[in-house]
Amino acid sequence: MTAKSPLSGRNIVLGITGGIAAYKSALLARLLVKAGAEVQVIMTPSAREFITPLTMSTLTGRPVITEFFTANTGEWHSHVDLGLWAHFFVVAPATACTIAKMATGVADNMLVTSYLSTRARVFVAPAMDLDMMAHPSTTRNLETLRADGVTIIEAAEGELASHLCGKGRMAEPAEIVAALEAAAAPETTLAGHHVLITAGPTVERIDPVRFISNFSTGKMGYAIAEEAAARGARVTLVSGPVALHASHPAISVVHVESAREMLEAAQKAFPDADIAIMTAAVADYAPATVEQHKIKREHTPDCRLHLTANPDIAATLGAAKRHGQLLVGFALETDNEEQNARDKMQRKNLDLIVMNSLQDAGAGFGTDTNKITVFRADGHTSRYHLKSKAAVAADILNEIEQCAHSQA
Ligand code: C5P
């Protein structure tokens, strides 16, 4: 009996675009279905000139979607639902046109619109003529997709539909399935490890209806928690109030409100943790006293808040750190960035600090992207370009794993 494919039970959107290699998508769909995946095909309008929706719907057991709605019934196809349903989103073949649209967000068809809605891991298998493939525009667009966290399954060299020879043949369906299977197989690099993560803002009450906080959304911390859990770790996520949910079953979320509550929860989990990653934007100050009743403007025309400094959670854990524990901090800087980040690493006894600058567009609070530089206590520095927060989470965990190996 052959082993069960890691794609078994996974939902896959298979996007097909208008290139001659579309005939190979039938075999790809067949292999994915054989692996036990649920396959939903989305075709661009021009893909239908190359392969029929009937072929694809017969192979997958699901009606093929091309338009935003079915003309005769008026049935609306929700690109948002489809995007969220998918565990994997693969575009094969991907033409230069669709690659350009994906890179720039030109959502004028069901496929690109669903791509923009998906949170799934995305794969693109380009197929085109050799000169289109080598064109600086295609190179640039593929680079953009890579930076967005998309995995490019490289085209092969060989004879092309034009009878010219060169790079541009779509990867073979079996290769595409292998790439998806490798991604679906659980990474076990953090198996047996306990990772503590703080995330989101803290909220410091002034009175029953008012508080002091900041703009942190928790996206970076939650992305790291998902990535660590996907790598086999048990994760304790101490989270301030955010609008996010952790989806991996290995993540247990401890909901807290204030910096003091966050410190207490972090201190409780820390002794058993191998790695602690402090992504939370902890409020620096809290009101010295919390009013029991709502402060009334009429009664208090001149309202002065007395604030006291909050405890530094990272520094507290840093002081308690034992041999073998790795402590990671973040530094969101606006000026004299590198020096401030390095000083912070030393002051808080961190092993590694992830710096993002508010001067970089797309980095910092609320964005779906981040641009980081990682400084390690051993002097090693890595600079990364702008990427999705999911891709940044993977980079950070790779850095942490390297750091752990070098300390072992
Ligand atoms: O000193 P600064 O706030 O810039 O340090 C940022 C790093 O320290 C982050 O990793 C943050 O999560 C952590 N921190 C903390 N407790 C505080 C302040 C910051 O854990 N009170």
Q: Position 408: which residue type? A: A
Ligand 1 proximity of 312 Cβ (cutoff 6 Å): yes
Burial class (CB in 10 A: 0-12, 13-18, 19+), 297: exposed
Task: Per-residue pLDDT tens, the chain, 408 aa: give them.
Answer: 345 788 988 899 999 999 999 999 999 999 999 999 999 999 999 999 999 999 999 999 999 998 877 666 767 677 778 888 899 999 999 999 999 999 999 999 999 999 999 989 999 999 999 999 999 999 999 999 999 999 999 999 888 887 888 889 999 999 999 999 988 876 688 999 999 999 999 999 999 999 999 999 999 999 999 999 989 999 999 999 999 999 888 999 999 999 999 999 999 999 999 999 999 999 999 999 999 999 998 988 898 999 999 999 999 999 999 999 999 999 988 888 899 999 999 999 999 999 987 777 777 776 788 899 999 999 999 998 888 888 899 889 999 999 988 877
- For ligand 1, is residue 310 a contact (CB within 6 Å)? yes
How far, in Å, CA of 93 to CA of 359, rounded?
38
- For the CA of 266, the closest atom of ligand 1 is 20
Q: What is the pLDDT of residue 1?
A: 34
Whole-angstrom distance, CA of residue 280 vs CA of residue 164: 55
For 124, the token pair is: 């693109």
Q: Which of 212, 237, 262, 312 to mutate to test the pocket of ligand 1 (most atoms within 8 A of CB)?
A: 312
- Rounded to 5 degrees, φ, ψ at 234 are -90, 130
pLDDT the model gives residue 2: 46
Determine whether 232 is exposed, middle or buried from the number of CB atoms within 10 Å of its CB (0-12, 13-18, 19+): middle
β 121-126/275-278 pair status: unpaired
Where does residue 20 rank: exposed (0-12), middle (13-18), buried (19+ CB within 10 A)?
middle
Residue 141 annotated among the catalytic residues of the structure = no
Give ∠ CA 325-327-333 in degrees, rounded to 5. 170
Task: Choose, from 72, 141, 214, 310, the residue flagged as catalytic.
Answer: 214
Cα–Cα distance, 57 to 55 (Å, whole number): 6
Protein residue with least CA distance to atom 9, ligand 1: 330
The separation between CA 251 and the C-alpha centre of its own chain, rounded to angstroms, equals 16
Distance 149 CA to ligand 1 centre (A): 27
| Distance between CA atoms of residues 134 and 156, nearest Å | 13
Q: With contact defined as beta carbons under 8 Å apart, do 187 and 232 qualify?
A: yes
Residue type, 271: P
- E strands, 107-247, where? 121-126, 151-152, 156-159, 165-169, 194-199, 204-207, 210-212, 234-239
pLDDT of residue 71: 64
234 lines ligand 1 (CB under 6 A): no
**For residue 327, what are the β-bridge partners?**
276
For 79-109, letters b (16+ CB in 10 Å) and e give beebbebbbbbbbbbbbbbbbbbbbeeebeb
